[in-house]
Structure 1
Amino acid sequence: MEIKAIINFLNKLEGSNIFYKLSKVRNEAILVEIAVPGQRWEIEFMEDGTVEIEKFISDGEYYDVKEIERLYKDFID
């Protein structure tokens, strides 16, 4: 995908009031992180022109503050 197409994509997000942020995780890609109600999308625009999309969709459950302890237990060294 050309840079012009990426800019048009970002402009369309902005025009639709969809929150996003740009980052770079891989050497060969630009990452657009999108947050919409109940979902988070990661769209990577690769240097070879391919696009990879990963969606994280909420199950609609909410948790109390005790869940933070689970975060520490399961994911922090």
Structure 2
Amino acid sequence: MADWGPVLIGVVLFVLLQPGLLFSFPGNHRQIDFGSMKTNGKAIAFHTLIFFALYAILIMAVHVHIYTG
């Protein structure tokens, strides 16, 4: 049996937390930009930290597992 939980959670969080796709914090023109499709170094660093924190909480604390087979 393969555990697809970490893979699926990682892909979903990666898509949702891309800076500029849904929101960018901090934004280029305002504190938070929605749907601007533009990013900067600060936003990339912030979104990376949020991704790691949410991923670690969901995988290690909540124990999200999806088994196939």
TM over 0.5: no
Please say which structure displays the higher CA radius of gyration: 1
TM-score (norm 2): 0.29
The structure, 1 or 2, with the larger RCO (C-alpha pairs under 8 Å, 6+ apart) is: 2
TM-score (norm 1): 0.26
